[in-house]
Every structure is written in structure tokens, then in C-alpha cells.
Structure 1
Amino acid sequence: MTARTRQLDAGVRTAMQALSAAAKKGLGDPVLTELVAIRASQLNQCAFCLDMHVDIAVRKNGESPKRIALLNSWREADDTFNDREKAALALTEAITLLTTADYVPNETYDEAAKHFTEPELAHLIASIVVINNWNRLMVSRRIEPGGPAW
């Protein structure tokens, strides 16, 4: 196996952190933001981001460990997640798995649009894109849970 750089350019890090903050600020729901980050991180198999966002969701935002445990099968956990959360999670999956479907289904986008204002939807999409970028940065650099990210 070849050596991988663990360094992340300070300018890239600063830009990513600013984009993350801007996306989250416009969404306004810290629990939903963390659910989206966790679900994308599950799909991308990013242990570093999973560890960090589960901790933030539970410890900082008071999310229940039960809901976190059921997040991977949110469709089958009928009453565990509300319709707004389900729409956000479906959109998260569609955007995260874009390479397998080649597009975000109209039904998925339209359902999300029912539950979010246009500015909120723009911030939700930005949040999904940002966590996917973070996942790719951490996975490709082999950053382990709890390890140094920079």
C-alpha cells in the first residue's frame, strides 16, 4: 500500500469549514443536520465522521441513541422519524448515491420541497454535498475515528 497524505491544506480546510457553517446555518435544525451527516457517513463508510456526528447528535443536541441506531433502516422505523426528516434522509441517500442512479429522482426532490422552504432546501442540499466531501476527504486519507483530522 502506498503512503497517503494525512495533511489537509489549511486553505482547503478553512473553505470547507466555512461552507459547512453556511450550509448548517441556513437549515436551522441541528438535529436534522446531524441525522443527514450520519446517514451520508453511513453510506460512505466514513468512520471518522460517523464517530464525530453521532457524538454531536447525542451529547450536544440530545438526540436519542435509539433513533441513531435505527437511522440505517429509517424507512422501516415507521414512527421513529417524522415526514420532514424522512424527506431529508431520502434526499441525502439520492445525492450521496448519485453515481448509482445518475440523477436525483423527481419524486424524492418534490417530497423534500413539500417539507422545506426554497432557502431551506438549498441549505439542505448544500449540507448533503458538504458532508459527502468531508467523507471523501477523511476516507481517502484513512483518518480513523477520534484521530487527528488535520
Structure 2
Amino acid sequence: MTATATSANTAPVRIDLAIPEVFPALLKASETIGSLGLDKKLHHLIHLRASQINGCAFCVKMHLREAREDGETQDRLDRLIVWAHVNDFSEAEKAALAWTEALTELDHKTDYASLRGRLRASFSDKEIGALTATIGMINLWNRIQVSAH
């Protein structure tokens, strides 16, 4: 057997089969979060950026397609990875993307208070809650998908 061969011992766990009650609950949570009124384009940018950071190729491909379907431009999608260095994104989007990165790549040195201040310049507490829940949910989905790599 080669080093890359998969045995029953190293095969990915099919969470949908091993604990089937989890996926319907996660889908319901995703649906609830999606109903909180977050702008669709921002929702897609958050999902895509977190998926890029997490290295989830399946999710990147899916979120690119969904973003395009909802009218996101290819130019902005191409520059999402360098969002902080270009003028393609509004200040509100940049604040949300900074929050996305901070909650995706946890670092004890992150100044969450200043990030929340930046968010509050554009979003209500309810909207910040929706952003936070959206980021948490995509990170969960990414980790489940990446665990099958």
C-alpha cells in the first residue's frame, strides 16, 4: 500500500451517515442565519473569503458560483484575496471582511474591540450578530468539508 492509499482506518468519516441528525440541524441554523437580512453580496464575500482562508476548494467553487449568480462581478471576486489593498470594496465590506479574517484565523493578539468599532460605523448590533453567525457557520461548514480531504 502506498503512502497516499486510503484504508478503512484512514478514510474520511461521513458525518452525514455517522450522525445523520446533525446535518438537518446545521441546515436549519444556516437557513435561520440567512434570513437575518444580511446583504446577499456581502454574505457571498464572507463565505468566499473564509473558504479561501480555510483551503476548502469545494466551498470556494460553490461560493464563487453563487456570488456570480447573485450579480457579484468577476473583478471583485478576483480581487477579494487582496480586499484591504484595493478600492473595489466599500468601507462596510472591508470592515466585514476584516471581521471575517479575525474570526477565521484566530490570534490572541487580535484587537477585537477596534474591529467591532469599525463594524459599528456601518452596521447595527443585530447586523454584527448576523455577520458573526454567518462567519461562524461558514467556518463550521469549511471544517466539516476539509475533514474529508
Which range, TM-score by smaller chain? Answer: 0.7 to 0.9
1:120 aligns with 127
- TM-score normalised by length of structure 2: 0.87
| Aligned match for 2:93, one of 85, 91, 107 | 85
- Is 2:75 the partner of 1:66? yes
One-letter code of the match for 2:30? S
8 Å Cα contact 2:95/2:119 also seen in 1? yes
Corresponding pairs, count: 139
Q: Structure 2: which 5+ runs fail to align?
A: 1-5
Kindly report which structure 2 residues correspond to 1:34-73, keeping only aligned pairs within 5 A, or say none: 34-59=44-69, 61-73=70-82
Q: Structure 1: which 5+ runs fail to align?
A: 143-150
Dislocated runs of 4+, deviation >4 Å: none
What secondary structure, in the 3-state scheme, does the structure 2 residue paired with 1:120 have? helix
Distance 1:102-1:13 versus aligned 2 partners, 3 A rule:
farther
8 Å Cα contact 2:38/2:131 also seen in 1? no
Output the CA distance in 2 between the equivalents of 1:104 and 1:54: 30
The structure showing larger relative contact order (alpha-carbon pairs under 8 Å, at least 6 residues apart) is 1
Cα RMSD, aligned residues only: 1.4
Deviation of 1:102 after TM superposition, in Å, equals 5.8
One-letter code of the match for 2:125? E
Larger of the two Rg values belongs to structure: 2
Output the CA distance in 2 between the equivalents of 1:17 and 1:102: 33
Deviation of 1:120 after TM superposition, in Å, equals 0.9
8 Å Cα contact 1:74/1:86 also seen in 2? yes
Deviation of 1:105 after TM superposition, in Å, equals 2.3
One-letter code of the match for 2:60? L
Deviations along 1:37-92, one digit per CA (max 9) or x if unpaired, are 00000110011111111100002x01001101100010111x20001100100000
- Is 2:31 the partner of 1:21? yes
Distance 1:104-1:53 versus aligned 2 partners, 3 A rule:
farther
One-letter code of the match for 1:56? E
One-letter code of the match for 1:124? L
8 Å Cα contact 2:38/2:130 also seen in 1? no
